[in-house]
Amino acid sequence: MLLSAASGAADAFVFICVGQVFAGVMTWNLVLLGASAAGAGEEGVALRVVTALVSYGCGVAGASLVGERMWRRVPLMLLAEVVLLAAGAGLWAARLVASDTDRLGLLVLMGLAMGIQGRVRATPTNYFTGTLTSLVGRLAVGAWRSDDGWTAGRLAALVAGAALAALTVRLWPEGGAVVAVAPAAAALLVEAAAGPGRAAAGPGKGKPRPDRGNPAGAA
């Protein structure tokens, strides 16, 4: 739930402050890419979308390599995410992001962080269409599961993180990116406190979640 909140905050901040793209929702970025190819959308959005896609992909690739080769990999990946988010928040708070090129650099940091987060655990924390599809489908047929409350909680955390980030941008523009850092750092502390036994399970391993493997896919 903490990582879901971080995802919502990061995407809201990037959408509002960097330029009508997302750091972690690649499905929507692909839609924007297609629209921009047809001449729709803001000027320069195609470059921002490609930057987000490449950055996210690099984050996923790097986290995948770490997940295969390193001990205590989950805390390490979360630490990398927190460092990237904090770097972006620091640059934004210091008003060092002034030009379009600077914004692309900030987008790279946020995209890398979200790509890493996407590989931290098998349970989705930054893409939720499949999660929502599975949850509503089970509700429709009366097949509610005991842990669906946590699934709904992640969706609520996503919305709350986005709302808090948007509110922060309105009231304290320089602190807009900080909202994403706090829950990610809290998730790192929770993971570190869980000890090596839990971390050994690694990303993508352990008990399957009910929102995985659904026909709609995870994204």
- For 62-85, write each residue's pLDDT tens digit: 999 887 776 668 899 999 999 999
Within 10 angstroms of residue 143's Cβ, the number of other Cβ atoms is: 10
pLDDT(213) > 50: no
Residue predicted with more confidence, 157 or 40:
157
Q: What tens digit of pLDDT does each residue of 99-128 get? A: 999 999 999 999 999 999 999 988 889 889
Cα 174 to Cα 129: distance, rounded to the nearest angstrom? 31
Cα 59 to Cα 158: distance, rounded to the nearest angstrom? 20
Average of per-residue pLDDT values in the chain: 88
- Identity at 57, one-letter amino acid code: G
pLDDT attached to residue 48 = 95
Q: What are phi and psi of 5, to 5 degrees?
A: -65, -40
Q: What are phi and psi of 60, to 5 degrees?
A: -65, -45
| pTM score of the predicted model | 0.86
Within 10 angstroms of residue 69's Cβ, the number of other Cβ atoms is: 8
